Structure 1
């Protein structure tokens, strides 16, 4: 597969020219700037160059890095754009390994020269990697750059015994000379499709991230064996260019396109316009960043899965385009949905052709396209769903012959009307419910269509820990090996990424095992490498976490409960998000005990990034779990009219919120400041910066406007325990509420009504500065959390005497 050269001056998310202002952001002329995005440069496939296999151990580390970079540049040759087929993953042995080596330079700069990377031909049986060598000279073979990186990661985990997680790493504990592999290891992918990222990821993980953040994400996806990644960054540019050809002005379209944090739901045909209008410059820069993401994936032999066209149009489409027919889609949790253009019409065919043409110009081609007809309550009207699906597939195949239509398995989608109307060999269903419900038979439900075993262990970017990992360990291999199985992949689909590193690690490893996972043994090995050395207290902590939050059962949920500290205040609250579990899904004492064990880990291991993240995360979860036992105590005191007991409970609640915020402040991954600073960094003017900040703030709190937040139930859907958000938003709400109850107890009158949306939306409009760097000692703060938690209640003694 050809690799793409990235523009040499492109250092962040914008792309094309040096800015005239701060030197960080590029500028484009206002007129037709999207039409002038530079043509995508391409590189020849190189035959295997044995010089690239030489490990230059004689060079100093910095010189070796420079030599590797220089070699990559010297072997770069520009050519005309290849055919669409050339964009598929590399299949011959002649692909360049320079993208894999560049990733290793970023991930393991002190050890990169000790790896020899060897490209091999991909057989019909699929991807594989092999690891061999001796101390200080590790040879990794693989069928793509990403497969090679997967081999490196396998070596790190099972030979070097360190972790490079998402998030958290212990690679600082690697010895100067890497240990020798234990013989020759060869691992084959058990499934061809290894898919990652939910449609919502760009919203809940951060729509305003820069190139450095995406580059790190891609490195970690490749390192963990993923080969198909959903890319929606910049999709607004495709709609923007396409619909100008069908009677819409630029101004109309910029008002129709939502702010970036809310664009995922616009692409799913759920809403439009909120937190807009967007500027043309913002559309341009998002397109350039999206192109850069897609190109990097191609360099690594991974497939960028791009949004396809299935009929979303702005208002008044038929008035401007005679011959078209639209079906009004009604509302989605309080938002007006965009209209759906009947795919059977000639107008649809022309819009789709224009869409795919502009997408090719902006992002290149792919072999996979993501589309979900009638998502979450979409209305077909009088359009036969099967006929619509056939027309959508025909438009895709006309534009991209042989492409695969990817759909999510969610609620009742995809319907058999869609599946049976098209060539099933051109479908892939990424199942979001594989581990959530019992009694599923996907072969029967989806009539034999290929699907990927998937999980959504996180909703809304919640910071809660836990996942149905024991279900994965048992169910994946059983489903895969059943006679007549149509299981063809895995799909890691959290709505927000960057948390639950052990879940990501285990789930992605399923695809590289041909035997069932020993759940207990796997966690024991994880505990050994997570902090870079074996430690009995780490082992005990992870065994407790395994049997607690990481052994939740299937049947109802795929994520653990969220925190009541983040709920809109009420004494009867059982969850913060409307669609989250309403009760504990595991014994909370397992987390408290795990925290106590982590605080006993050897001091030499406490310096690792992985330990510091895990300690803060587990302490945060232990305190969050306390909210579920404390709130009923406060309610009981209020209901009894016991002012003294109520005030004691309310004081503990406020103290816990303060302690929680100070704990979270010790780790940059639990700070609100970077989220808001990223949003403001995309604005050129004060108006643009303020609009981006509102977009980013509102997603976390009210989610949208009043009707969506209140009647629609979207408020706090994206709740998370972050320093700054806890102290300034959640604590503000709870203090207001608890003080009103205190006044009610004193006066004997009902508590005053509170307009929560007005209070919350006022916070959304603010522009406070928040720290972007951590402060404080995580070990001391975590110890303070343990001290603040009530001691666990010992079990009652066994009854004596004769049994009745």
Structure 2
């Protein structure tokens, strides 16, 4: 052996062998610890997840145990959790990596060693991944940073998410779960059900009101999800609700999502940046791309090929850049909080100039959509079986991975949203999906294609059962596709498609179109139907929220997300009671919520939130939001119903109970949740009162009498409604407009963004193509838009005999006003806020016929 070889052995081989020996010893030691731990868990942590049926380790959907549970669903108490043995409580403390020192059996020295080693393992493996949930506590509960300890552990029972919450001897709240999402949901259950604090849309976070010290648990809280996936977001929500959101808005939303157990959210912001780079790469100019992209309030429909181009001006590239930066923050926070973002993929919709750079490409034009003229619709679609499609797909996903990291394998891709395919031939349909699927797999071998199943309902006349089957069959591996049954609570498609022919799918609550604001829900469908689907379909893998807009009715969305953790339909009576208790809690230990608030919400539960009219399938719209006419406004059905499916007098009673509660507990007038809800219920009471007043005016007019007096009363009701709405930032036009203008770099951009914001909630198109679809009951919008429309309409009635009524003429007059309103701009940053209590006192005294003959506080 020469000298060189000896040097190599001494310098490399011997140290390497020694390192391997050390690693082998460590590995064997860790293995022994894990075996001991598993044995101890089996012996000492052998507690059941379910003395109560609703939390039990999930039975198989078709077995007798589950079927029996269906017949006792009213026994589900949301605020009660399983008992556990003292041995289990002690072991939770013993083995927790940060709190094992309390209550430990000092006679068992080996337990110390195991606990220390397990703590080291946990801190090494999970410390970084737990940062997200600890940061959530720091953001929302800064005074309680040291009050919680989180730990990831394997319960060795099911693949679903599970959690255990308990109290250590020193008062620390210990939250254990087998995923970050389970930890977050377990934290939420403790905060909402025990500390009685929560985080809400509009109202914001009330978690900082949690008492000090935190309430101790006499028994652990445990829970197990019934489904693997909890999905959130409709594609169009990114226009109707989040179009102009700031990072602060998104932070609140993401924390809300995490605490409610959402683990599969759509991340659909800023994708235009990636798309522009892909188009540049193949030679398209920015001008050619700009002619394709739509304005910021309408990007959702551009992304899946309904519209193209931007009326009112081109989309600024500064918007594209800023939204891209926002998306980076969003997906980073999603991952930190244990969510798997659903990212976009290349859909195939391209600028018209694609033929210049890809002259041999196979392209077709999409359908005309929404009554738009050809300039803004008939989008160009690159057929997936063209070789260029796969090339652009790989480029898109590669650039996306470079921007955000390799954070997901799930991609949203909708090709026929309210657009019919070029051909109904079965082989053609299969060819489209097959090549789309292959393009995804060529870009990401682990890709899963998520699609909205909305097309099978909205264009049901085209999508026959055989065409649906052919289209889905193009994805040859079932697990490579995930279908959102978008409207499960009212128009489910999973039954007629035999659970999407074996493809995994998610039961979704759509509920709201365009951000409508009426009080509405189907509590029985959301609970009973969801659990029945879970029992009937082997390929159901999740529950999801797919409302088009976030505009109230928050309890309905909480209800479905909590149903994802119960095998039985939730007892809505008990659920509403507990929800009210937490929503109006002051955070002061021992304080009580006035009984009138429970009574008011029970009325809502049995009326507005218990719709059983199958012709009214979504949130209602008030007729005062619609373009005035002498016909066609009352009792509309379908997606934008104006029908009131409950006795309006019942809602007045609920309002009176709310008002009575505030007269007894005046602190409610300073509580954000109560102020929001009082405006919301007042808004609905006044909107309901508008209907008989309108009907009376039409009858008077058709009888040949003057409508002047009744018309004046109608306008006064709207002015008073505007004053109520204007007391709260969440019900004001100025909030929406200022959010839009805040993204601008200069006045020209600010005016363009405001134009987009105004147009979406009124004309929805350059000429009112989808007029009033996304209308809102907002202060400032009522006074500046709806009232002038009704005044013009009433003026026309006063000066035109019923026999000479000309709908075309009055519609043209109203459109002229509507078009001018789009061009207005708002330079002020904030409208004056008035006190709700004093406004309600004035309004309720003026309208005893609306609110009842009673004195306001």
Q: Report deviation, 1:231.
A: 1.3
Please point out which of 583, 586, 599 is paired with 1:530. Answer: 583
Q: Which residue of 2 aligns with 1:148?
A: 183
Deviation per CA, 1:481-529, whole angstroms, max 9, x where unpaired? 23x4321101101111252121121121111223321122211222222
Q: Distance in 2 between matches of 1:110 and 1:614?
A: 28
Q: Which residue of 2 aligns with 1:101?
A: 134
CA contact (8 A) 1:144 1:300 kept: no
Residues 267 and 746 of structure 1: CA distance in aligned 2, closer, same or farther (over 3 Å): closer
Q: Distance in 1 between matches of 2:209 and 2:405?
A: 41
Please point out which of 270, 280, 294 is paired with 1:234. Answer: 270
CA contact (8 A) 2:96 2:151 kept: no
Residues 745 and 250 of structure 1: CA distance in aligned 2, closer, same or farther (over 3 Å): same
Q: Which residue of 2 aligns with 1:265?
A: 301
Residues 159 and 445 of structure 1: CA distance in aligned 2, closer, same or farther (over 3 Å): closer
Residues 578 and 492 of structure 1: CA distance in aligned 2, closer, same or farther (over 3 Å): closer
CA contact (8 A) 2:637 2:643 kept: no
Q: Which residue of 2 aligns with 1:3?
A: none
CA contact (8 A) 1:96 1:119 kept: no
| 1:428 aligns to 2:482 (yes or no) | yes
Gaps of 5+ in 1: 1-49, 56-89, 795-804
The within-5 A match list for 1:355-504 is 355-365=396-406, 366-381=408-423, 384-412=428-456, 415-422=468-475, 423-437=477-491, 441=495, 444=498, 446-482=500-536, 484-504=537-557
Q: Report deviation, 1:777.
A: 2.0
Q: Distance in 1 between matches of 2:577 and 2:322?
A: 45
CA contact (8 A) 1:416 1:447 kept: yes
Deviation per CA, 1:245-290, whole angstroms, max 9, x where unpaired? 2231012212321111100001111001124412222211111111
Please point out which of 675, 700, 719 is paired with 1:637. Answer: 700
SS at match of 1:744: coil
CA contact (8 A) 2:616 2:638 kept: no
Q: Which residue of 1 aligns with 2:165?
A: 131
Deviation per CA, 1:286-311, whole angstroms, max 9, x where unpaired? 11111111111011110111111231
Q: Which residue of 2 aligns with 1:307?
A: 344
Please point out which of 247, 253, 266 is paired with 1:217. Answer: 253
Q: Which residue of 2 aligns with 1:553?
A: 612
Please point out which of 658, 675, 694 is paired with 1:612. Answer: 675
SS at match of 2:143: coil
Residues 487 and 556 of structure 1: CA distance in aligned 2, closer, same or farther (over 3 Å): farther
CA contact (8 A) 1:100 1:149 kept: yes
Q: Distance in 1 between matches of 2:538 and 2:626?
A: 42
SS at match of 2:273: helix
SS at match of 2:757: helix
Please point out which of 229, 232, 239 is paired with 1:193. Answer: 229
The within-5 A match list for 1:338-357 is 338-357=379-398
Q: Which residue of 1 aligns with 2:16?
A: none
SS at match of 2:342: strand
Residues 254 and 749 of structure 1: CA distance in aligned 2, closer, same or farther (over 3 Å): closer
SS at match of 2:450: strand
Q: Report deviation, 1:411.
A: 4.2
Residues 384 and 705 of structure 1: CA distance in aligned 2, closer, same or farther (over 3 Å): same
CA contact (8 A) 1:666 1:776 kept: yes
SS at match of 1:412: helix
Q: Distance in 2 between matches of 1:262 and 1:391?
A: 28
Q: Which residue of 2 aligns with 1:590?
A: 650
CA contact (8 A) 1:91 1:121 kept: no
Q: Which residue of 1 aligns with 2:11?
A: none
CA contact (8 A) 1:562 1:576 kept: no
SS at match of 2:693: helix
Q: Distance in 1 between matches of 2:617 and 2:209?
A: 34
CA contact (8 A) 2:264 2:341 kept: yes
TM-score, structure 1 as length reference: 0.83
The within-5 A match list for 1:46-195 is 53=98, 93=126, 95-121=128-154, 125-133=159-167, 136-168=171-203, 171=207, 174-195=210-231
Q: Distance in 2 between matches of 1:193 and 1:210?
A: 27
Q: Distance in 1 between matches of 2:634 and 2:802?
A: 27
Residues 353 and 256 of structure 1: CA distance in aligned 2, closer, same or farther (over 3 Å): same
| 1:625 aligns to 2:688 (yes or no) | yes
Q: Distance in 2 between matches of 1:92 and 1:158?
A: 31
Deviation per CA, 1:161-210, whole angstroms, max 9, x where unpaired? 33322243655653232111241111111111100011011111031211
Q: Which residue of 1 aligns with 2:772?
A: 716
Q: Which residue of 1 aligns with 2:746?
A: 685
SS at match of 2:199: coil
Q: Report deviation, 1:719.
A: 0.6
Q: Report deviation, 1:443.
A: 6.0
Q: Distance in 2 between matches of 1:789 and 1:190?
A: 49
Deviation per CA, 1:410-433, whole angstroms, max 9, x where unpaired? 141682222222121111111112
SS at match of 2:231: strand
SS at match of 1:247: coil
Residues 774 and 419 of structure 1: CA distance in aligned 2, closer, same or farther (over 3 Å): farther
SS at match of 2:609: helix
Q: Report deviation, 1:463.
A: 1.8
Deviation per CA, 1:651-704, whole angstroms, max 9, x where unpaired? 121111111111111111111112111211211122211111111110111011
Q: Distance in 1 between matches of 2:600 and 2:96?
A: 46
Q: Distance in 1 between matches of 2:705 and 2:163?
A: 66
Tell which deviates more after alignment, 750-759 or 230-239: 750-759
Q: Distance in 2 between matches of 1:397 and 1:428?
A: 15
CA contact (8 A) 2:478 2:504 kept: yes
Q: Distance in 1 between matches of 2:224 and 2:428?
A: 42
CA contact (8 A) 1:389 1:418 kept: yes
Q: Distance in 1 between matches of 2:671 and 2:128?
A: 35
Q: Distance in 1 between matches of 2:648 and 2:607?
A: 8
Residues 290 and 400 of structure 1: CA distance in aligned 2, closer, same or farther (over 3 Å): same
Q: Distance in 1 between matches of 2:736 and 2:254?
A: 19
Deviation per CA, 1:698-748, whole angstroms, max 9, x where unpaired? 011101121xx2xx4x11111111111111111111112112212336999
Residues 682 and 158 of structure 1: CA distance in aligned 2, closer, same or farther (over 3 Å): same
Q: Distance in 2 between matches of 1:576 and 1:677?
A: 33
Q: Distance in 2 between matches of 1:663 and 1:718?
A: 21
Deviation per CA, 1:418-475, whole angstroms, max 9, x where unpaired? 2222121111111112111379616615112211111112111112221212211111
Q: Which residue of 2 aligns with 1:33?
A: none
Q: Which residue of 2 aligns with 1:17?
A: none
TM-score, structure 2 as length reference: 0.78
CA contact (8 A) 2:668 2:675 kept: no
Q: Which residue of 2 aligns with 1:600?
A: 660
Q: Distance in 2 between matches of 1:551 and 1:310?
A: 39
